[in-house]
Structure 1
Amino acid sequence: MTALPASEIDDTAPSAAARPSPRQTGAHAVVRTLEALGVTRVFGYPGGAIMPVYDALTGSSLQHILVRHEQAAAFAADAQARLTGKAGVCLATSGPGATNLLTGIANAYLDSVPMIILTGQVPSGLMGTDAFQEVDVFGMSMPVVKHSIIIRDPLKIPEMIAEAFEIAESGRPGPVLIDLPKDVLQAEAYPTIPPQPRPEAGSSHPPESDLAAATTLLARSKRPVFYIGGGVTLGGAVEAVRDFMARTGIPTVATLKGLGCPHPDSETFLGMLGMHGGRAANVAVDESDLLICCGARFDDRATGRLDTFAPGARIIHIDGDAAEIDKLRRAEIGLAGDISAILAGITNDWLDITEWRDTCVERKEHHAFRYDAPGSGVYAPAMLKQLSEAAGDDFIAACDVGQHQMWVAQHCRFSRPEHHLTSAGLGAMGYGLPAGIGAAMTRPDAKVVTITGDGSIMMNIQELATARRYGVPVRILLLDNASLGLVRQWQEYFFDQNFSEIDLYDNPDFAEVAHAFGIEAFTVHSREEVPAAIDRLLNARGPILAHVLIDPRENVWPLVPPGASNADMMED
């Protein structure tokens, strides 16, 4: 660029130091408030109504991650929140930007993930007029948020955003939507430090009489089972659960979201229960005379046909959310409040279940998964097991939805529950890649692996560009069976082999697709290539994709048929 001649320089222009500070707006208040609340990273995509916030981001301390689809912004923020316990933040413009976030919002709501969603909105005077890119995201998101806010006064931005964070992170966590009309963002509003969040109310404790009754019920039990779910993690009670397991020796089963709460090497941990749970876990629940449900909600994927679930068992239900108790299954004793304190208050002075425990452990060994599948092709369960064991306690899986999701739950080793990132309640395909990006940016020291399928990867494959742009150290293990595998399996057994619209024979060469995005990639064809592939994946520094070809006829076993009891499992 050619410098201006001295004669054309305006000597009367004030120096940078003398210029008045830029006009401060509601958008600046948004950014300064996020900074004051400790936010360091946001995921988003700009557009018309949210543009004032993007203008205010310039020069701030916030790291903005430009995703390539708004849904990915929500999924990435979701993963960050699950790993840190602090609300993730995503933002998008009005109209299609806001609606593209809805799947991610619903995902966070159903899995109780704290998240702040900032959406631009048309100016206040145009709201309700069907203006360009106007949708009522406040109303549309109402069923899938913990709380919603429309900010109409720019001076209240700090206070209302601080309140949103408090709501999202306290009690049972969840997403909070903040809708920001463009005129509010553009109005003058000198940022102020937001008020400190009010101290969270102390956790409630059940009466001592209820704890004593639970202890008595346990003492009288001959075949107790400890049934744990994702509420354990939300309540910060992982260590309390492990301690309870160790001092009681009660056989333990977990839901999809409960995996990682029991130590993976615990002898009395029988694995996941439910539709794709192990036989030892499902049989133990079926034969139990006491079910201690802790942080679980009797979800249909875990219970199968509810009226046949643990048919001879009395129920002690422990949960941080009192609304879950007696919602689906009546409990003899309901204990709501601090899960750690409740577990510590249930003693086991007279518990003698040696014979029952030995029976359950023997079943666990007898029905253990086998990994000696015939043939030379890649056997996905074995590869996943080897991958998680090779990664060790640093292994974090960001899993998509399909057969591979169930294989991960069955065969991977998780040292912590937050290391198992999965769309449990919503079952949203496309979660894996953006969640892996969010996780790897949050924990770059860990071995973060997105585990996806050829169906799921196509839902958000554009995020390969995000991984490449930021050099995100995410490893992508893509299991390709050229079909929508879980749908195909159901069609095979429950729809008379009417294979309708599940054939993905025209998949691209995914390694070449990754190369086109500038990402290292390779293809695995046979079982003998697996050890080297795992080593290459785990030791890569930047984003890398392993395209693994597997048998399209391979199914997930066991399987509880729809509408059946968990005792009626189908097996290969």
Structure 2
Amino acid sequence: MIEAGTLIVKILENQKVERVFCVPGESYLSVMNGLQETSIETILCKHEGGASMMAEAEGKLSGRPGIAFVTRGPGATNAASGVHIAQQDSTPMILFVGQIEKEMYGRDAFQEVDYKEFFGGMSKLVIEVQDANRLSEIISRAFHTAMSGRPGPVIIALPENMLTEKVTVKPTGFVKKINSGPSTKDLALYIEEIKKSKNPIVIIGGSVWSEDAAINLEKVSEILNIPIYTSHRRQSYFNNFHKNYAGDLGLAVNPRIIKSIKDSDFITIIGGRLSENPSQAFTLLGIPEHNSKLAHIHPSPEEIGKVYKPDIGIVSSPIVFVETLKMTLQSFNQSFFKETNDYQKIYQDWINENLTSPNSGVDLSRGIRELKEKLKDDTIITNGAGNYAVWVHRLFRFKKYNTQLAPISGSMGYGVPAGIAAKLKHKNKEVIAFAGDGCFQMTSNEFATAVQFNVGLVVIVVDNEMYGTIRMHQHKNYKGRYKHTGLINPDFVQLANSMGGKGYPVDKTDDFVKTFLEASEWSNKNSLPSLLHVKTGSEMVLPGKRFDQL
């Protein structure tokens, strides 16, 4: 017989979980005891929000649930930020939460929270384990639920005295992801519409994707000569250097891309939902009916028709759909090739546009353009939220799948925890975490986590001494009234040094790339994080645009 807490660990071992992220708590001491001797790496975080964000990033990288453990009450509420990201970004994730003893329920006991009420609106499933003998059943269900349909977070509450019960239950075996595929009829209908269309386009997004899917979609685009757009913060889903890549739909998007999509007579959405940001506040397509043909391929039937009424709706894993479509098109002895248009030129003109430089401070546009020429194709770029991220999205080009980690949810503080998770999983790849000065300070304590676990990522803090996005909206709506968005920042170089990493100041554009290369070399040599404190000044609000140009 073993304790229920140890059984949980053995179940996770059977799921081939490589690591878990946690902040310790007395409510799940039995699990912590089980984690003493295991193949699973335990990453001790500084805040539950950081732990849940790391678990979410792990889910993005692996396609299987990232795992986090937090204690009851405030531990759970702190972790909500990562849960919300997982829900908005459709990321598989399981959050194990300590809970009060079963006999204490309903008495407003110490740190008592009704987790079904608290997490119910942003989770696929919230369940409390009352009987330790059902742990295998419940965790198996959690893995299936987190990965099925539209992936998302699952919350499992663990009463403290349940975890110390002795059990003889066999740990459940490996849970395989169940994938659906298009029917022959659906595929035939879709191909017929493609044949009839004059200027079809494809928009890919969501979370169910793979390296093979990206390669298969390249082949489909070549057979059809069809432009491929990526959804908001999903740029690494398709090779940005491919001749059929047409750009991304996100914040501060190229207006010519909007026109190209609106002019299309057949739009295919694969995997994504075309939610607020990529749809430009739900103005890109007609709701519920668009004025041209629309196909929506999504693994969850609940998402098809939720906002947009498609002419063709196909419930299918995007991975399976693209593979099946490629093989079917290759089997035909006929040409589906569409006339060439200028979508690639539109993309090239946008990324190579001559952008206005600031009068003082580091020119982020020039710095990123020079930096990207020095990076390997498999470099992973992470970021949180803020106007600084618009430079990252517009100026970086992604060639390899899953080399971009960024929150659709718009969560500040995401870049550093995501970068830590990425570097832990891909120790031999360069990982760069971008953060604004406000964004960084929301999870800057996790820099110490990177030190403790020898995570050699490079953090680039873009310092404009304000919450830039909110200042931008103040300027648009209440010009001249800028209180409450200015920041007095610490010396980020000394902060990094004090935590055991290494900080580097960057005050001039000419120093940006050479300082990065020095920091990267130091981090790789010492397996410790480094930080660039990049002072841009407060003049620029977007790439090539000053505040006074809004």
TM-score, normalised to structure 1's length? 0.87
Matched ranges for 1:457-472 at <5 A: 457-472=440-455
Which structure's CA Rg is the greater one? 1
Distance 1:264 1:202, change over 3 A: closer
On the 8 A contact 2:137/2:172 being kept in 1, the answer is yes
Distance 1:422 1:167, change over 3 A: same
Q: 1:222 maps to which residue?
A: 198
Q: Which runs of 5+ in 1 are unaligned?
A: 1-22, 560-569
Matched, 1:420 2:404: yes
Q: 1:336 maps to which residue?
A: 315
Q: Could you tell me the percent identity over the aligned residues? A: 27
Deviation at 1:394, TM superposition (A): 1.9
Distance 1:152 1:41 in 2: 26
Distance 1:201 1:28, change over 3 A: closer
Deviation at 1:215, TM superposition (A): 2.4
Distance 1:558 1:272, change over 3 A: farther
Deviation at 1:166, TM superposition (A): 2.6
1:306 pairs with 268, 278, 282, which one? 282
Matched, 1:396 2:380: yes
Output one character per residue of 1:526-550: Cα deviation in whole Å (capped at 9) or x when no partner: 1111220231233232210001011
Output one character per residue of 1:443-476: Cα deviation in whole Å (capped at 9) or x when no partner: 1111111110100111011112111111111110
- Larger CA deviation: 280-289 vs 426-435: 280-289
Matched ranges for 1:232-243 at <5 A: 233=209, 237-243=213-219
- Larger CA deviation: 385-394 vs 539-548: 385-394
Matched, 1:488 2:471: yes
Deviation at 1:372, TM superposition (A): 5.5
Matched, 1:196 2:173: yes
Paired residue secondary structure (1:390): coil
Paired residue secondary structure (1:358): coil
On the 8 A contact 1:230/1:257 being kept in 2, the answer is no
Paired residue secondary structure (2:542): coil
Deviation at 1:558, TM superposition (A): 8.9
1:273 pairs with 209, 230, 249, which one? 249
Distance 1:548 1:433 in 2: 16
Output one character per residue of 1:134-155: Cα deviation in whole Å (capped at 9) or x when no partner: 1112321111112122111122
Paired residue secondary structure (2:540): coil
- Larger CA deviation: 363-372 vs 156-165: 363-372
On the 8 A contact 2:225/2:337 being kept in 1, the answer is no
Q: 2:303 maps to which residue?
A: 324
Distance 1:194 1:255, change over 3 A: same
Distance 2:131 2:71 in 1: 19
Distance 1:235 1:150 in 2: 36
Deviation at 1:54, TM superposition (A): 1.7
Distance 1:193 1:61 in 2: 18
2:121 pairs with 135, 143, 150, which one? 143
Distance 1:413 1:70 in 2: 32
Distance 1:538 1:415, change over 3 A: farther
Question: Cα RMSD over matched residues?
Answer: 2.5
On the 8 A contact 2:378/2:429 being kept in 1, the answer is yes
On the 8 A contact 1:335/1:342 being kept in 2, the answer is no
Q: 2:272 maps to which residue?
A: 296
> Which letter maps to 2:383?
C
Matched, 1:246 2:227: no
Distance 1:511 1:530 in 2: 15
Q: 2:439 maps to which residue?
A: 456
Distance 2:190 2:102 in 1: 55
Number of positions where the alignment pairs a residue of Structure 1 with one of Structure 2: 534
Distance 1:203 1:402, change over 3 A: same
Q: 1:364 maps to which residue?
A: 347
Output one character per residue of 1:487-537: Cα deviation in whole Å (capped at 9) or x when no partner: 112222233343231111x11111011111121111100111122023123
Distance 1:275 1:193 in 2: 49
Deviation at 1:571, TM superposition (A): 8.4
Distance 1:376 1:528, change over 3 A: farther
1:206 pairs with 176, 183, 189, which one? 183
Matched, 1:105 2:83: yes
Q: Which runs of 5+ in 2 are unaligned?
A: none
On the 8 A contact 1:43/1:74 being kept in 2, the answer is yes
Distance 1:370 1:168, change over 3 A: same
Paired residue secondary structure (1:141): helix
Paired residue secondary structure (1:213): helix
Deviation at 1:29, TM superposition (A): 1.6
Distance 1:59 1:333 in 2: 52
Deviation at 1:552, TM superposition (A): 1.1
Distance 1:368 1:98, change over 3 A: closer
On the 8 A contact 1:259/1:414 being kept in 2, the answer is yes
Q: 1:386 maps to which residue?
A: 370
Distance 2:28 2:115 in 1: 14
2:131 pairs with 145, 150, 153, which one? 153
1:525 pairs with 489, 495, 507, which one? 507
Distance 2:497 2:268 in 1: 50
On the 8 A contact 1:218/1:224 being kept in 2, the answer is yes
